[in-house]
Amino acid sequence: MMLLASLLTEPIGVSHYMVVGAVLFTCGVICMATKRNALGVLMGIELVLNGANVNLVALGSPYLRGSEGSLGLDGQLMAMFVIVLAAAEAAVALAIALNFYNSLGSIDIDRADDLKG
């Protein structure tokens, strides 16, 4: 509780971005674990990836790099890579969900057992 209170009184820094990223990541994991339909799970995955992106950008900030530079892959570049992967993942997963809906008339992931051959 003291950490949260100190975060609210400090100027915005890297720790604030890390907290926002952690909250997004946690909300995504909870969403993935509790939702029963495929679109809810996809939204949870996107929240997890966006939480990771916020943390990558925060870790790539000049505050943490210091004066010696970075390893060659900045957090922003890694975040762009994750965004491209998330877009590809969303396209493939939505296509699978549409075919799942056309086959079963529902997107309830508990009915995925019906697709076994």
Tens digit of each residue's pLDDT (9 = 90 or more) over 83-109: 999 999 999 999 998 988 998 888 888
Query: Are 85 and 111 a contacting pair, CB within 8 Å?
Result: no
Integer Rg of the chain from CA: 19
Class of domain 14-110: mainly alpha
Residue 50 has a pLDDT of: 92
Residue 11 has a pLDDT of: 80
Question: Whole-number mean pLDDT of the chain?
Answer: 84
**pTM for this model (two decimals):** 0.76
In this prediction, residue 71 has a pLDDT band, given cuts at 50, 70 and 90, of low
Q: Is the model more confident about 43 or about 117?
A: 43
Residues 20, 72: Cα–Cα separation, whole Å: 25
